[in-house]
């Protein structure tokens, strides 16, 4: 999740992929419900989980509980490293000795499914209560109407604010609409304080504003070709709002939130707000423990008070390789991890948003996580193309934002960026 939520790393707070070369030992193959005769047949199952995706204590509890409920079955949970993970996933899915369950980044499902090595789980969606899945987490797992990835957990951005600066400005209630947000941020941008620290290349925030306007970063045509859409009226309106908000602070126009780390900037106590995953609060307190009890959270405001602003939903899906030799048992592992019991445990342990909207209440008492869950109801994903990683590699969206913020012609900049996105998405199609 971290790579999908921290700009510069292809992905919300914020998500994950996983693999390594280990496989099951017994034979058998099949599709749909799996190649084994019975879902509860004893087996040694290999499960790949990304480092720091889950705590050791959670994985130990899950393993012990699952093995107790499935006599004779052993779970071999293997922690994978981020470096080089994409190639490991691709290689594993093409092998004959794949793991049984793999955690992958939600925005990477399309890339892996395109190779044909991921099992189609469409027939299992109802069994997994898929109608209740968070859309922004579930949609990337669906390609051409087929569900390949099962949503596991989510994270998205919220507004982290300085309670003292809000009180100083006479603001007693966080804003619920964009208009209120601009009004409040204008009040906060006085007396040497930043109304908001918003770097000029925070493109996930821009994406949310574009989605709120009814636009997108790219769209797929009837001919199957992709088209960058930053030059549409909706996307331009989103950029206009971003520009208005960004001007109410001193954030750099040519950098993202990692340069410098925005948590460090906020920790100095002079910036009233940042847009971040709630976990950013821990980095703030590490930089300045005196900020304890001064940090608050609210959902990114929407255009109207009845709906929070759109947010990029980062997170992880679970997939079953076609080459798994225990597909039926692997599905039972996925079902357990995606089910109510372990979704609840995970949410409380990790402060992630559960995969189902009806489980948001389990985060009550955790201000950051519960705020994140509110925003997740209006979650979205980046365009569901196997080539989206190629867009992020050079990221014309960031370049476009800096150009607009520094006085370039917005129409020309939008056309250039859209053309770059179009080229990247259609390069190998």
Tokens of 73: 């079955």
Q: Which CATH number fits domain 158-311+384-426: 3.40.50.720, 3.40.140.10, 3.30.1960.10, 3.40.190.10?
A: 3.40.190.10
Per-residue pLDDT of the chain (429 residues; tens, 9 = 90+): 443 443 333 333 333 333 222 333 333 333 334 444 467 778 899 999 998 889 999 999 999 999 999 999 999 999 998 677 888 989 999 998 899 999 998 888 988 998 899 999 999 999 999 999 988 889 999 998 999 999 999 999 999 999 999 999 999 999 999 999 999 999 999 988 999 999 999 999 999 999 999 999 999 999 999 999 999 999 999 999 999 999 999 999 999 999 999 999 999 999 999 999 998 998 999 999 999 999 999 999 999 999 999 999 989 999 999 999 999 999 999 999 999 999 999 999 998 999 999 998 999 999 999 999 999 989 999 999 989 988 988 899 999 999 999 999 999 999 999 999 999 999 875
Q: Distance of CA 397 to CAs 205, 230, 337, 402, 414, Å?
A: 12, 8, 35, 9, 9
For residue 351, the model assigns a pLDDT of 87
Q: Which residues contact 246 (CB under 8 A, 6 or more apart)?
A: 196, 198, 200, 253, 405
Do 351 and 368 form a contact (C-beta atoms < 8 A)?
yes
Residue of 331, 363, 338 whose CA lies nearest to 130: 338
Superfamily of domain 2-156+313-380: Periplasmic binding protein-like II (3.40.190.10)
pLDDT of amino acid 9: 32
Token digits of residue 149: 């990835």
- Tokens representing 266 are 């906020």
* Parts of the chain belonging to CATH 3.40.190.10: 2-156+313-380, 158-311+384-426
């Amino acid at each position: 999740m971290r790579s999908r939520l921290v700009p510069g790393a292809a992905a919300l707070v914020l998500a994950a992929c996983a693999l390594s070369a280990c496989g099951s030992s017994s034979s058998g193959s099949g599709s749909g419900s799996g190649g084994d005769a019975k879902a509860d047949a004893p087996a040694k199952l290999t499960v790949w989980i990304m480092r720091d995706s889950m705590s050791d204590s959670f994985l130990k509890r899950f393993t012990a509980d699952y093995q107790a409920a499935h006599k004779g079955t052993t779970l071999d949970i293997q922690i994978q490293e981020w470096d080089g993970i994409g190639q490991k996933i691709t290689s594993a899915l093409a092998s004959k000795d794949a793991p049984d369950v793999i955690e992958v980044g939600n925005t990477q499902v399309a890339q892996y499914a395109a190779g044909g090595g991921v099992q189609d789980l469409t027939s299992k969606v109802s069994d997994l209560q898929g109608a209740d899945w968070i859309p922004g987490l579930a949609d990337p797992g669906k390609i051409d109407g087929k569900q390949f990835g099962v949503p596991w957990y989510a994270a998205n951005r919220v507004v982290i604010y300085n309670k003292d600066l809000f009180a100083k400005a006479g603001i007693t209630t966080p804003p619920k609409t964009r208009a209120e947000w601009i009004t409040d941020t204008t009040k906060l941008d006085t007396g040497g304080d930043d109304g908001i620290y918003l770097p000029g290349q925070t493109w996930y925030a821009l994406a949310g504003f574009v989605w709120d306007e009814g636009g997108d970063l790219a769209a797929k045509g009837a001919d199957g070709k992709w088209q960058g859409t930053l030059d549409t009226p909706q996307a331009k309106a989103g950029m206009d709002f971003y520009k208005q908000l960004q001007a109410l602070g001193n954030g750099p126009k040519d950098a993202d939130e990692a340069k410098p780390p925005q948590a460090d900037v906020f920790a100095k106590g002079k910036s009233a707000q940042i847009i971040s995953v709630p976990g950013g609060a821990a980095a703030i307190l590490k930089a300045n423990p005196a900020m304890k009890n001064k940090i608050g959270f609210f959902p990114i405001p929407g255009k109207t008070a009845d709906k929070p602003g759109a947010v990029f939903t980062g997170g992880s899906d679970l997939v079953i390789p076609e080459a798994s030799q225990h597909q039926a048992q692997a599905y039972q592992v996925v079902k357990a991890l995606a089910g109510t019991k372990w979704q609840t445990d995970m949410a409380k342990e990790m402060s992630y948003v559960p995969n189902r909207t009806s489980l948001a209440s389990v985060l009550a008492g955790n201000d950051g996580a519960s705020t994140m869950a509110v925003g997740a109801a209006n979650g979205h994903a980046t365009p569901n193309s196997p080539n989206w990683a190629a867009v992020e590699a050079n990221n014309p969206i960031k370049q476009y934002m800096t150009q607009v913020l520094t006085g370039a012609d917005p129409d020309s900049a939008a056309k250039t960026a859209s053309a770059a996105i179009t080229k990247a998405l259609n390069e190998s199609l």
